[in-house]
Amino acid sequence: MRYEIIGPMADRFDEILTAEALDFLVALDSEFATRRVALLDTRRARRARYASGQLPDFLPETARIRTDPSWQVAPAAPGLTDRRVEITGPTDRKMTVNALNSGARVWLADFEDATAPTWHNIIDGQLNLVDALERRIDFTDPRGKRYALGDELATIVVRPRGWHLVEKGIAVDGRPISASLVDFGLYLFHCARRQLDAGLGPYFYLPKLETHREARLWNDIFVFAQRYLGLPQGTIRATTLIETITAAFEMEEILYELREHSAGLNAGRWDYIFSVIKNFGQWSDFVLPDRSAVTMTVPFMRAYTELLVRTCHRRGAHAIGGMAAFIPSRDPEVNEDAMTRVRADKQREAGDGFDGSWVAHPGLVGVCREVFDQVLGDRLHQIARRRDDVLVSAADLLAVDKTPGQVTAAGLRSNIAVALRYVHAWLGGTGAVALWNLMEDAATAEIARCQVWQWVHHGTPLADGGCVTDALVRSILAEEWGDLVRGGTAADRERAEQAARIFERTALGEDLPAFFTTDAYAHHLGPSCGSGPTGR
């Protein structure tokens, strides 16, 4: 097999794209590419079955795994014993320093929801991780502000891109390689030994898994990669995001498949909502109200998080909470409201038994820590709280029709405005943005465009009168586009044009595409377009 680097070689990229690292990626690809493609085919077939009337259920063929009380996941690895606060964010140089210094126990270094996968962002992110581990990442920005690593740093946990994405910057035998294998493989190759030397290990978050078979693929990759690199089996640890409706039915099996490498489960609430709409968008009893009304306390979301805690604790695994979208603001009133809401969200999670949770901003580390400190006392986690009281059925997980709330004109406009602005930022190389005082990333844009598709598909009535039609959406899109480009440059305008076309293709087509990111990446984010801020 032959590899080719298609992406341009910027300053120091040769330190990441070494012949040995690329040989490792080729070995991963030759061993696992076919299985990845087959699993993506089964995703398509499953969605087609749901569209034609089938509903998911707990699997009869794996009942033995669920009823066998004897198995547990591996004990927590060094650096992952206390996970009360985890900060997430992209891997540019400034964010890397700020996240590591934030006071959080863990930093989720994100190549997924919070990163626009330009070639630059991907390879520069890997360089920043190496530089952080070598403690040579300090720099002064153009304003003269100094960035330097402190003494107490968060444990790095890398989130590679999901199975659905490819990386066009590296071709193997003329075809693009899996993006998951690139992000996982480059980090493992360059940083596993460095992490072990520091007394920690190579840790990962696994995004957007749909089934335990996908977890098995990751586990087999871990076993192969550890053997290839001469690392003891069990060195790698991975926390799996439960952020698809299908994975919610296979949480126990996912832990089982990964048990020697598992570091628990996380409640990826935003992609979870996206997955529910994507899989059951055609069904009229699955029409959800405004995005803002789909809170963590509506019945189907509550069922999923309660089951997640119970499943993890039965198997000795950490249960990690999700992301509240509120972020600090310079406006004191908005800021106070954000803090109150984040506190309430973390209190619910800590009270339910989660062992820690996520924050999107260093300014939220304190509130999350305070809430979990209060519940944990001098314990590192609350795994001993088994939550045997939780009984969740398939019907509970699918009780989407019990979600209170309305579809409003404001909710429709918000979905269009947020999706358009987010995709515009993403095409410019930025994968997480603050919009109207909320943190927005790829998962929000996916929910927003899927909800619009769902509402148009069903001609959903608006609480304020009228109903959602293709023509109404196009007219709001045109208004929002006008707002976005006002006063912008020609380049901004062109990007906004591309974002509007992506929105039309992924929210207004006859079918509902599985991801906007695959469409947008294929059309617009080639390696040759991949320039982003370096901070270097």
Ligand X SMILES: CC(=O)SCCNC(=O)CCNC(=O)[C@H](O)C(C)(C)COP(=O)(O)OP(=O)(O)OC[C@H]1O[C@@H](n2cnc3c(N)ncnc32)[C@H](O)[C@@H]1OP(=O)(O)O
Query: Residue 465, Cβ neighbours under 10 Å: how many?
Result: 7
The one of ligand O=CC(=O)O, ligand X, Mg ion, none whose footprint includes residue 362, by CB under 5 to 8 A per kind, is: ligand X
223-252 residues in contact with ligand O=CC(=O)O (CB under 6 A) are 241, 243
Q: Kindly state whether residue 110 participates in binding ligand O=CC(=O)O, applying the rule CB under 6 A.
A: no
Catalytic residue among 29, 82, 290, 441: 441
Residues 440-459 that bind ligand X (CB under 6 A): 441, 443
Nearer to ligand O=CC(=O)O, 86 or 167 (CB): 86
Cross-strand pairs, 439: 434
Which of the following is catalytic: 43, 105, 159, 291?
Answer: 159
Binding of Mg ion by 210 (CB under 5 A): no
Q: Judged by CB under 6 A, which of 94, 213, 474, 536 binds ligand X? A: 94
**Alpha-carbon gap, residue 174 to 171, rounded angstroms:** 5
Stretch that binds ligand O=CC(=O)O, among 150-158, 268-276, 300-308, 473-481 (CB under 6 A): 268-276
Binding to Mg ion by residue 443, rule CB under 5 A? yes
Report the candidate in 446, 14, 531, 502 with the shortest Cα–Cα distance to residue 269.
446
Instruction: Please identify, using beta-carbon distances, which residue of 110 and 352 lies nearer to Mg ion.
Output: 110
* Residue 264 interacts with ligand O=CC(=O)O (CB under 6 A): yes or no: no
Please give the full DSSP string across 245-297, using - where no structure is assigned: HHHHTTHHHHHHHTTTTEEEEEE-HHHHHHHHHHHHTT-GGG----GGG--TT
* 12, 128, 144 from 97: Cα distances, Å: 19, 9, 16
271 binds ligand O=CC(=O)O per the rule CB under 6 A? yes
Burial 282-307 (b: 16+ CB within 10 A, else e): bbeebbbbbbeebebebbbbbbbbbb
Residues 279-298 touching Mg ion, rule: CB under 5 A, are none
Residue 271: CB minimum distance to Mg ion, A? 4
Task: Report how far residue 129's alpha carbon sits from residue 265's, in angstroms, rounded to the nearest whole number.
Answer: 24
Quickly count: other Cβ atoms within 10 Å of residue 433's Cβ.
18
Piece of 20-28, 84-92, 406-414, 515-523 that binds ligand X (CB under 6 A): 84-92
Q: Contact between 361 and ligand X (CB under 6 A)?
A: yes
Residue 175: active-site member: no
Tell how strand 319-320 and strand 262-267 pair up: parallel
Choose which of 323, 367, 484, 525 interacts with ligand O=CC(=O)O (CB under 6 A): 323
Pairing of strands 175-178, 203-206: unpaired
Distances (CA, A) of 426 to 123, 169, 250, 298, 525: 17, 18, 32, 30, 9
Residue whose CB is less far from Mg ion, 29 or 112? 112
Q: Write phi, then psi, for 297 (nearest 5 degrees).
A: -100, 0
Rounded-to-integer distance, Cα 347 and Cα 65, Å: 32
Q: Which of residues 103-122 bind ligand X (CB under 6 A)?
A: 110, 113-114
With contacts defined by CB under 6 A, how many residues of the chain interact with ligand X?
A: 24
122 binds, among ligand X, Mg ion, ligand O=CC(=O)O, none (CB under 5 to 8 A by kind): none
Residue 316: both structure tokens together: 């000795």
> Which class for 194: exposed (0-12), middle (13-18), buried (19 or more C-beta within 10 A)?
middle
Length of the chain: 536
> How many of the other CB atoms lie within 10 Å of CB of 396?
17
Q: Which two tokens stand for residue 510?
A: 């006859």
Selection from 250, 235, 160 nearest residue 202 by Cα: 235
Least CB distance to ligand X at residue 97 (A): 8
Out of ligand O=CC(=O)O, Mg ion, ligand X, none, what residue 179 binds, judged by CB under 5 to 8 A for its kind, is none
The CB-of-281 to Mg ion minimum distance in angstroms stands at 18
Interactions with ligand X, residue window 414-443 (CB under 6 A):
432-434, 439, 441, 443
**Candidates 209-217, 265-273, 423-431, 483-491; binding stretch for ligand O=CC(=O)O (CB under 6 A):** 265-273
| 322 is an interface residue for Mg ion by CB under 5 A | no
Q: Which of 89, 117, 162, 268 binds Mg ion (CB under 5 A)?
A: 268
Q: Give the Cα separation of 15 and 26 in Å (integer).
A: 17
Q: How far is C-alpha 33 from the geometric centre of its chain's CA atoms?
A: 22
Minimum CB–partner distance for residue 425 and Mg ion (Å):
17
Helix axes 332-352, 365-376, angle to 10 degrees: 30
Residue 354 near residue 111 (C-beta atoms within 8 A): no
CB of 10 to ligand X, least distance (A): 22
Stretch that binds Mg ion, among 113-121, 138-146, 244-252, 431-439 (CB under 5 A): 113-121
Nearest approach, Cβ of 23 to ligand O=CC(=O)O (angstroms)? 31
Catalytic site residue 441?
yes
**Gap between the Cα atoms of 347 and 266, Å rounded:** 16
Q: In the complex, what is the shortest distance from the CB of residue 208 to Mg ion, in angstroms, rounded to a whole number?
A: 6
Binding site for ligand O=CC(=O)O (CB under 6 A): 113, 241, 243, 268-271, 322-323, 443
Catalytic residues: 159, 441
Binding site for ligand X (CB under 6 A): 87-90, 94-95, 98-99, 110, 113-114, 270, 323, 327-328, 360-362, 432-434, 439, 441, 443
Binding site for Mg ion (CB under 5 A): 113, 243, 268, 271, 443
